[in-house]
Amino acid sequence: MDMKAGLKTRIAAMTVAAGSLVLACPAVPAHADGEGQHHGRTASVGGPRLSRPGVQVLRKPGAPHLPSDLSALSWMVSDADTGKVLAAHNAHRRLPPASTLKTLFAVTVLPKLPQQVLRKVTATDLAGVGEGSSQVGIRPGKSYTVADMWRGVFLSSGNDAVHALGAMNGSMPKTIAQMKAKARALGAHDTRVVSADGYDAPGQVSSAYDLTLFARAGLARPDFVRYSSTAVARFPTGRKPNGKATGYFQIQNTNRLLVGAPGLDRYRGLIGVKNGYTSHAGNTLVAAARRGGRTLVVTVMNPQSGAFNAVYHEARSLLDWGFAASGKVSAVGTLYGHRGGAAAKAVHRPVKDAGTAVSHAAAVAVPDDKPPTVWFASVTGALLLGGTGWVLYRRRRTFGGRWL
């Protein structure tokens, strides 16, 4: 074999080996090493556009314009069924979540506790409930079912109910550790959990993207949807050992898109999910609605307009826009909710368009779809390496065997 033929053979072998290596190397997902990593390393989560500051939308001809009165520091509109992000503004910006973090608490703890189990609450169970925080009215020495407590969580945003359920789950520290693990499993790497109930705590943050992931995971559970879509319920003053209530008082959901308020009508088709407020976080809201066979999730964090009920009006405007934009916009990102080796996909059967409609939802496992950018990068890398090897070979032949 002459020198040129041998060189050609070696370059070809090196090119094939390099291309095979690129294709064989698995892509490492952002933040596989833990929770709450630096924002720059979340750039690929959901797609590169979602890491960009400002409004992200890809309108087709005839698509409606986004609402002009949006003032939230961060917001996102997503299709819960397909996982497509229709529009976003600072999707990965880390902000205090307030009680919207209870969505992560719910998707973490709901599967662990049977709904009709009775618990006699102790003072220790309620230790650590933040001063001035929202409560449903759980009292030490009284007994309640798990279902009672979940109504307290979703309707009254009761931190006392969260602490009682956390105690039933083993302890609050254990529950917080599980919430962190759940966030990582869902691909929510902007979130840092310090308090399970969303009470302001140093370093506790989430993002519109992550809160949408939590909501989508919740919508895959009929019990989550049932609680989050309940407008009004009776809460027991306590229960006897046989489970019979000693009395009741009425509680109402604090989500004003669900129950309405002066100057704010109930939103048609709303099926939850959770609102929140603290002086540090401002108003936050994750709202899901279903119309015409489509389920949309809108997350709004900390409107700056100062208008009364701004978080609800802005969420309503974004929901209206999302339904009107059906088929008229291209996705700017994707919701990647990882559960083990599979992505979770929420599947909903049609429900009535009503403020208290309950979605019959189920979770099905589908193959883990890597983001298109991962596949594209792998194939492109192989082609570039192969092309580079061939160009170098040709250039060496052309210029008398010198590398140029």
C-beta of residue 330 within 8 angstroms of C-beta of residue 60: yes
DSSP 204-261: -BB-HHHHHHHHHHHHT-HHHHHHHT--EEEEEEEE-TTS-EEEEEEEE-S-HHHH-B
Alpha-carbon span 27 to 379, nearest angstrom: 12
Closest by Cα among 310, 339, 55 to 208 = 55
pLDDT tens digit string along 290-321? 999 999 999 999 999 999 999 999 999 999 99
pLDDT tens digit string along 211-225? 999 999 999 999 999
Task: Please identify which of the residues 156, 157, 228, 359 carries the catalytic annotation.
Answer: 157
250: exposed, middle or buried (Cβ count in 10 Å: 0-12, 13-18, 19+): exposed
Alpha-carbon span 79 to 72, nearest angstrom: 20
Instruction: Compute and round to an integer the Cα radius of gyration of the chain.
Output: 25
Is position 99 annotated as part of the catalytic site?
Answer: yes
Task: Please identify which of the residues 44, 78, 102, 229 carries the catalytic annotation.
Answer: 102
pTM assigned to the model: 0.76
Is position 157 annotated as part of the catalytic site?
Answer: yes
Is position 102 annotated as part of the catalytic site?
Answer: yes
SS3 at position 282: strand
Alpha-carbon span 212 to 364, nearest angstrom: 18
Ramachandran area for residue 57 (φ above 0: left; ψ -120 to 50: alpha; else beta): beta
pLDDT tens digit string along 267-292? 999 999 999 999 999 999 999 999 99
Task: Please identify which of the residues 44, 51, 78, 99 carries the catalytic annotation.
Answer: 99
92-101: b or e for each residue (b if 16 or more CB lie within 10 Å)?
A: bbbbbbbbbb
pLDDT tens digit string along 37-52? 334 445 579 999 999 9
